[in-house]
Every structure is written in structure tokens, then in C-alpha cells.
Structure 1
Amino acid sequence: MIAALGGVEALIDASPAAAQSVPPLELLVPPPLGDRSLGKDDAPVTIVEYASMTCPHCAHFHETTYPELKKRYIDTGKVRFIFREFPLDPLAAGASMLARCADKDKFFPLIETLFQMQRTWAVEKPIPPLMAIAKQAGFTEQSFNACLSDQKMLDAMQEEQKRATDKFKVNSTPTIFINGQMQKGAATIEELAKVIDPLLKAS
């Protein structure tokens, strides 16, 4: 695959998570690449999702739970949603890099498209289908290749992944924090609502 992706390692701690919550202020320190977020900056509830683009559970979450989460909580100003990359393999890192290289307003649409089409590009020969998706988001072949060769971006992504593993005990995807409370796995909207709604009432 493209050279920069060769150095990606899964910075995974296989031990079970020791903590079920983390200090929200520490969690909200932006990663080296900055945060990509949706919703009001001063929303009473902040959700941080760590996801890997090749993770089927993440794709399932974004296809089933996320649209209702966005409609019910993010679009209504109740939740600020932050998406952070936690690539479990070189291909996931490449897909995350493409989303980062896209125009800022195309970041979330491209993330959703990549999850929806995960089965078409998370394959043995991923470059042609990935390039087809990227071209729809405005990439040229040249900008596509330049993005995937960006070692500084890859290093910054891995740095945040290490921080998430070491400080926040993230060791699987998706891992979601709701005002610092950890939720592992592709939660349903009902499961998320059980955590979100009491926080909204308390705010």
C-alpha cells in the first residue's frame, strides 16, 4: 500500500478497561490534529467517539444509532459530538486521513459515506474503491496520493491513539464517552438516552 501507511501499528492495550469514566476536562483537550465536532460548542452534554474506519461495529453504530442521535440530540443543541480517529489497521488510518484531508465541511459526510460503503473498500485491493469515494468528495488522484503519503498526519493520529489508550483506557472501537462516562461497543439510541437524559435534566 502507499508508503506512509506501512508504519501504522495498532496501539492496542488488550487488558480490560480499568476505569469506567475519565475527567471530562482532560478528555476535551484537543488532539494534535484538532477536533472535528458537530453541535453547539456549549451544549450541556459532550460525546466523544473513538472509532476505526474498518471496524464493522463502528459502521453499524453510524448506520443505526448515529442518525437518531444526531436528529434527537446534536441538531437540537443538547449534545456536542466529537469524532476521533482510533485506526486499528493501516487501511483504517488511510480512510481517516482522507476524511481529514477533505474540506472541513465534508469531513462528517465523508466519514458517514465511508462507513456506509465499508464493505466495498475494506477489501484486499482497497485503493480503487477508496479513490472512487474520494473523487466524489472533490479529490484528484494527485491530492488522494498526497494525502495518504502525509507522514506528519499519520504520526499525529498515532499520537492521539496512544493518548487514548494510555490515559482514557480505550482498547476497542467504538468507545464512546458521554461527559466522561465510558460506553463500549455499538450502543443503541435507547442505551445512550439512558445516560444522556439524566445529564440534560441535571444541567
Structure 2
Amino acid sequence: MDDTAGATHVTRRGLLAGGVGVVGAGCVGGRGSDGGSDGTGDDPSTLDTHPVGEALAAQPRLGPDPATATATIVAFEDPSCPRCAAFEETTVPKIRRELVDPGEAAFVVRTAPLVYPWGEPAIHALEATYARDADAFWSLLGHYFERQDAFDTENVLDRTETFLDEQTGVDAAAVVADAESGAMDEAVQTDVSAAEAADVSGTPTVFLFRDGEYRTRATGSVSFDFVTQALEL
């Protein structure tokens, strides 16, 4: 990809304001191969009061309603983040198969433009896609992670339009038009504000709730074992 992490803009919806840095070509704040807990588990927050719960019902979700689910997993991801791609390849399939499909957990994705500059227009395209078709959103998200090396700021929306046109039923041109016009600014800002309020400084950052109560969080290469142990599932 042509973009470099060093070119990350500190003005991206304000998320990088306040001293958050970019580490090499990886994802900001990653914590190593086994994932790391950012919290002690003593936070008394609930899903209703925690910052990541803000406007949660409007976010892309797999599985049961978080309001009634035994467990809720909220993941902040950047489509340009290599560690997010690894998380989606190694951990998310197990989450879907063993926790989401049986109805034990809800998996919610929120976005944060932290790594390569092309991630921001991609996030706008994701929001525009989700507004039209949830299944197409998940397909596009997977496409970004699978083909990260093919994207840069110059081609991301053209490649997005081609993928949506060929692989989904959404109006691809309309998605790109919304992404370019700022029509999705409010939706993007909702996630950015939640990330700021929750002190998200790297992706993926995963927040774990059991029976509506906050358990812990982890950033980096979060393992499935970490998730199940923290949630006691």
C-alpha cells in the first residue's frame, strides 16, 4: 500500500488529538501476540453507562440483542489495521461459531480511523453500506481486511465501488457518493466520540461485558481464549 503509518493525520475526526502516537507500520497501541488487558475488571460500568454503549443499537451486530445477550463483545477496528485483519482471521471466526451462532454472545463492531489514511474513507464507505444493507457491510469489511495491501487513499473508493457492484446488491455508486460527500460524518463521529470517551488508542480494542456488566478490555492480538475466560463462557 502507498500510505504509511507515519502519515496518519492527527485531525482524523479528532481521535488522534491529545498525544496518541503511531507505532511503526502496525496498529496504534497494539499489545503483542497474546493480547493484553487494559483494565482490571473492577470498573463498575454497565453496558448502558459505559462509553462504548452509546448508540450501540445503531451499530453493526452479529448475534442476539446486547440488551438480552449473556455476553456482549464490542470491538473497535480500523479496516486498514493489520492487527485487526489478524484478529478477524484468527479470533472472530471462533467468536462467531462458538459464541454468536449459539446465541450466547453479541458481537458489535465500531470503527476508529487510527492507522493508515485510507482507513478513513473506507470507514465512511462502510457506514454508507451499512445504512443500506447489513450483509453487504460485513462483506465489505471482510474485503478490506483480506485485501489490505491493495488499498491506498487514491484507489480505496474506486475499489470499494467495484467490489460492491460485483459482489453485493447495494447501489455502489450511491455508497461512494455518500462516502465522498460527508453524508456519513455523523455516523462516523458517533463511533469516534465513543472511542475517545473510552480511551481507545489502538485497534483492535475489544470491550467485554457479561450480563450487561463490564468485565475487561484488551488491545492488540486478542485471543479467543482471552475472550472466553474473561466472559466465563
Q: Work out which of the residue numbers 70, 73, 77 in structure 2 matches 1:47.
A: 73
Residue 146 (structure 1) aligns with:
177
Aligned residue-pair number: 190
In structure 1, the residue matched to 2:62 is 38
One-letter code of the match for 1:147? D
Q: Which amino acid aligns with 2:64?
A: K
Aligned to 1:64: 90
Which residue identity lines up with residue 55 of structure 2 in the other structure? P
Is 1:98–1:134's contact at 8 Å kept on the other side of the alignment?
no
> What value does the CA root-mean-square deviation take over the aligned residues?
2.7
Residue 93 of structure 1 aligns with which residue? 120
Moved over 4 A (4+): 15-22
Mapped contact 1:54–1:122 kept (Cα < 8 A): no
**Deviations along 1:58-84, whole A, 9 cap, x unmatched?**
011001111111001011111111100
Shift of 1:159: 4.1
Shift in alpha-carbon separation, 1:162–1:128, aligned structure 2, 3 A: same
Quick check: 55-64 or 154-163, which moved more?
Answer: 154-163
Tell me, yes or no, if structure 1 residue 175 matches structure 2 residue 179. no
Q: Which has the higher helix share?
A: 1
Q: Is the 8 A contact 2:161 2:176 kept in 1?
A: no
What are the superposed Cα offsets for residues 137-195 of structure 1, whole Å, 9 maximum, x if unpaired? Answer: 23556314312224241243134313321x21111111000013211112121222221
Could you list the per-position Cα deviations for residues 11-49 of structure 1 after superposition, in whole angstroms to 9, with x for gaps in the alignment?
A: 124288985555232232216x92111111121100100
Residues 152 and 123 (structure 1), Cα distance of their counterparts in 2 relative to 1, 3 Å cut: closer
Once the two structures are TM-superposed, the CA of residue 90 in structure 1 deviates from its matched residue by: 4.3
Contact 1:58 1:174 in 2 (8 A): yes
TM-score by length of 2: 0.70
CA distance, structure 1, for counterparts of residue 14 and residue 117 of structure 2: 8
| 1:11 alignment partner, one of 12, 15, 29 | 15
Identity level (%): 24
- TM-superposed CA distance for 1:105, in Å, is 2.8
Is residue 107 of structure 2 the alignment partner of residue 81 of structure 1?
Answer: yes
User: Unaligned regions of 5+ residues in structure 1, if any?
Assistant: 1-6
Kept in 2, the 8 Å contact 1:10–1:87? The answer is no
Q: Which residue of the other structure, out of 190, 193, 200, is the alignment partner of 2:225?
A: 190
* 2:122–2:157 CA contact under 8 A, matched in 1: no
Contact (CA 8 Å) 2:74, 2:110: kept in 1 or not? Answer: yes
Which position in structure 2 is the counterpart of 1:28?
53
Which of 131, 137, 149 lines up with 1:107 in the alignment?
137
Cα distance in 2, alignment partners of residues 141 and 112 from structure 1: 16
Mapped partners of 2:190, 2:64: distance in 1: 27
The amino acid across from 2:86 in the alignment is: H
Letter in 1 for 2:160: L
